Amino acid sequence: MEIREYTVFRPEEVLPLYAAAGWTRYTERPGMLAEAFAHSLCVLVAWDGERLTGLIRAVGDGASVLYIQDLLVLPECRRQGVGTALVQALLRRYAAVCQTVLLTDDTAEAKAFYRAAGFVPAKEWDCLAFVRM
């Protein structure tokens, strides 16, 4: 597996990752996703040979806050270290950032994954997250 920065948006490469996750809000609006990529702080991808197996996309200022917007791994590649490698590569790149945040599904799998990566629920910091969609 090779982790590298993703600088040119190619819908034929990334849309299958979003489709596999069921994120139709993105797949139905590839133009919006292209714009989102263009304005992202960082996009890293995982390649297994010629196959794109995972992606992490971050937004923020890169100094005080880093927001992990998307973390996607093909279903058949999960539990093989792809997601962990992507998170670690992003956190290394922005090691000096004061606060790294994300929202995720409230599932046992997501909780276990992010706890293992060093994240804690916001409530453990006496914080509350608000979302408007």
What is the pLDDT, as a whole number, of residue 10?
94
What pLDDT score does 36 carry?
96
Q: List, for the chain, all residue ranges whose pLDDT scores fall below the cut of 70.
A: none
d(CA 85, CA 10): 22
pTM of the entire predicted model? 0.93
Q: What is the largest CA-CA distance in the chain?
A: 44
Architecture of domain 2-125: 3-Layer(aba) Sandwich (3.40)
Please tell me the predicted confidence (pLDDT) of residue 133.
81
Phi, psi of 87 (to 5 degrees): -60, -45
pLDDT score, position 130: 85
Domain ranges of the chain: 2-125
